[in-house]
Structure 1
Amino acid sequence: MKKVALLWALMVGLVYPSVAQKDKKASEILDAMSKKYQSLNSYKATFSYAGEGGKYKGDLAVKKNAFRLKLAGQEVFTDGKTMSTYIKETNEVNVQDYDAGSSGEFNPTKIYSIYKQGYNYKYIGEQKQGGQPVDVVELTPEKKNTQITKVQIAVNKKDKSVKGWKLTDKSGKVTSYTIDSFTPNVAIADTYFVFDKSKYPGVEVVDLR
């Protein structure tokens, strides 16, 4: 659960009073990235995760308010109303109501807007990732003593998609995610975002609603 929690910390939108410590160039890059994601009907992505616990691969699919995430032996499903978290090791799924506005929820459908509330940001510079030029922007939370103290987001200069990000926690540990593939506007059935227990023989369902 720890690995998924780190991803939750990046994508959740924290709601705190805003202060005027915003870098203009960083703002332009983030606004362009935000505009791109808001224009999409859906997308799929594969990514690599590297941290203290090792290296892993993950998959993410997003369609409007629905998403499905697979990472390190866990799968998270939500259709925008119900969230199901499946843990492969124990063959158990936890089912709960999904609140997209809750600060404790993982919400990749809002990745394009997290910077708008609760963060200051500045432009770090241009780099290359996977042979492609990216602009790197650093976000720092306005609230002190948060678990995540710094987020660096790499935005593809050409198509404005997120190419990767790094999280630094209060102990100084760095966790990085790299987008390996990104496919916009793919056809995805709504049922893909709903946990189907018939596909997980013997699964124990824990209903927390």
Structure 2
Amino acid sequence: MKLYNYFRSSASWRVRIGLALKGLDYDYAAIHLAKNEQFAGSFAEQQVSHLVPALVLDDGQWLSQSMAILEYLDETHPEPPLLPQGAVARAQVRALAQDIGCDIHPINNLRVLRYLKNDLGQEQTTVDRWYRHWVATGLGIVEQRLAATAGTYCFGDTPGLADCLLVPQIYNAQRFECPLDDFPTVMRVNAACLALPAFANTHPGVCPDAA
């Protein structure tokens, strides 16, 4: 498999974590979003959304959207599982993952921040305020959910789908200097995850394209 990703892309890191948890090998293909490489060459021709990550399977098929890729990996390589047994538990894990992947990340990703600054003419301080507002709002919800579900990790004592999304989001929040003191459970789980090789060894700081 080949994974097209950008080292600072939280969506890309989610998939790197998932692949590492599954023990799966892949070729790392860098797409530098800040240099607009997503709009050029064969990547742009294949990935019509111009977004990372994209996972190219051994037979040449392309998969996109990080959560779809993670669930594909879980269906095709079921051990160790990213989702628990039982329909209710699986729905709860997906809900927490979507609190991050659908309610925090999309309105704070690079193309949105660029639009706010470049097209709508907002000052950087205003863009940063936007970012921090939605991080705080979203993590407030995540913190409340984790109070009921967390063990060592988001759901019990085994890392899974929700953890794959949580850790990259916290990395981005820290990059933007978001206050995080109000989210002690979130930060405890984040620290526990980062102690695992699957998270630490896929960190943006150790990626081949890290600047």
The verdict on a shared fold, with TM-score over 0.5 as the criterion, is no
Length-normalised TM-score, structure 2: 0.24
Length-normalised TM-score, structure 1: 0.25
Greater strand content: 1
